[in-house]
Structure 1
């Protein structure tokens, strides 16, 4: 859409609806992966879109709209994590949300093993410290570059690299040990 920033600055609801449609699912997924609570994630994203109207004057470059929105949502997630200090429940893995199709070479048993590995990885990602979880989500789930992650998180590139390395090491160690979620925490 043409002149999106200007339309948002004029509080054009159609422009906001377009932005919500364009980025809403990705923002909800990121919030969900951070806070592990579907309702809270939706609330965070809704609050984030309200902030768009209030803070749109701060954004000068329309090409950075997506990363700016992600920054707002992740900041709200961090705030919720700090203020609530709640222990995250593990989200049940819902196989119906995964689109895993059996190839000619894959048996149903192999698919089950593949799904169990995915479930285990998700469990361990959820139990990482929020700094590590955040960089894993941005880098692997959303394919952000390190430079984009610097912009979104307002953290030095070297710190992001370090967090990614530590997160990978923790995940690899836990998965190799075959830890269950209760052992890892």
Structure 2
């Protein structure tokens, strides 16, 4: 099975207009959810998504394909978000940013349970430092490798691995702390 995010530029049209259609179809949901993750504002996320695809269209011919298309677009969306709002993350509860698997058929009950579980994890994620939120989102929700994350956020891969390790520890600590509170007060 091919890991997520390894789509080469060669799989898309050389014509920027046609490539844009393909990019929007394949990555539209990921881009808007990532923008929402950073901004917490649905309308701003939609505006950012449009700007991301406009930049992709303008730079398609210049994109050499040194990284995957997904990594390139992720870098663009992160940069646009940072330009728009700085490093501030979302202020309201984000929607579930997990990727939608269009081809699978599961029961409604299973789908609801999966969404609930992911929403619970997102509640804990909101309580850890912003750089850790970003790393966990990119790694687990967008399924980027540490190398792809390093490229997307312009950091050394060692820094990404270190931050990912610390983020996992922080998330685990937050979840244990919450569990301890529930145990003490019987909630």
39 and 162 in structure 1: CA distance in 2 versus 1, 3 angstrom threshold: same
Gaps of 5+ in 2: 1-8, 101-105, 182-187
134 and 100 in structure 1: CA distance in 2 versus 1, 3 angstrom threshold: farther
Q: Which of these residues, 31, 41, 48, is aligned with residue 44 of structure 1?
A: 48
Structure 1 Cα separation of the partners of residues 132 and 83 of structure 2: 16
Does 1:19 pair with 2:27?
A: no
Structure 2 Cα separation of the partners of residues 81 and 170 of structure 1: 25
Cα distance, 1:50 vs structure 2 = 0.9
Structure 1 Cα separation of the partners of residues 10 and 158 of structure 2: 36
| 1:27-176 superposed matches below 5 A | 27-61=31-65, 64-82=68-86, 88-91=91-94, 102=109, 115=116, 117-176=117-176
Partner secondary structure for residue 121 of structure 1: helix
- The superposition leaves residues 39-58 of structure 1 with CA deviations (integer Å, 9 ceiling, x where unpaired) of 22221111101111222343
Structure 1 Cα separation of the partners of residues 95 and 139 of structure 2: 23
More helix, by proportion: 1
Structure 1 Cα separation of the partners of residues 37 and 57 of structure 2: 25
Give the total of aligned pairs.
163
Task: Specify the alignment match of 1:7 in structure 2.
Answer: 15
Cα distance, 1:130 vs structure 2 = 3.1
Cα distance, 1:35 vs structure 2 = 2.0
After superposition, the CA RMSD in angstroms is: 3.3
Structure 1 Cα separation of the partners of residues 148 and 75 of structure 2: 10
Cα distance, 1:27 vs structure 2 = 1.4
Taking structure 2 as the reference length, what is the TM-score of the superposition?
A: 0.71
